[in-house]
Structure 1
Amino acid sequence: NAYQGVHALRERARKLDRGILIIRFEMPYNIWCNTCGNHIGMGVRYNAEKTKIGNYYTTP
């Protein structure tokens, strides 16, 4: 089995030891960037790093 001994999130979990999870998200609608002025179309996908910065009152 090629996946034996591999984390369930595979490549997304490569930075988990530093508390970073790699996520992928998609633009829900068309937008214009306020910084550079470029158009970003609906459905464009991006990779991002998700980190836990602090705790809210209701988060575990």
Structure 2
Amino acid sequence: SKVKINEDLAEVFYNDSGKLKEVKKKLFSSFVIEDKKPHKLPLILATISKEGVKEWK
């Protein structure tokens, strides 16, 4: 998985669709702002706050 951090927000990308369900479960128990519906790789799972990124790592 990969996290791209901007000043206040981050987008989380995931390249393994096999583990997508497990990863989304972890993500959405954190600080998710916006749910994305990924259709192709790399998958953009969510936009979250920097605090959420720290919690999720």
TM-score (norm 1): 0.24
Greater share of strand: 2
With normalisation by structure 2, the TM-score equals 0.24
Larger radius of gyration: 1
Higher RCO, Cα 8 Å, sep 6+: 2
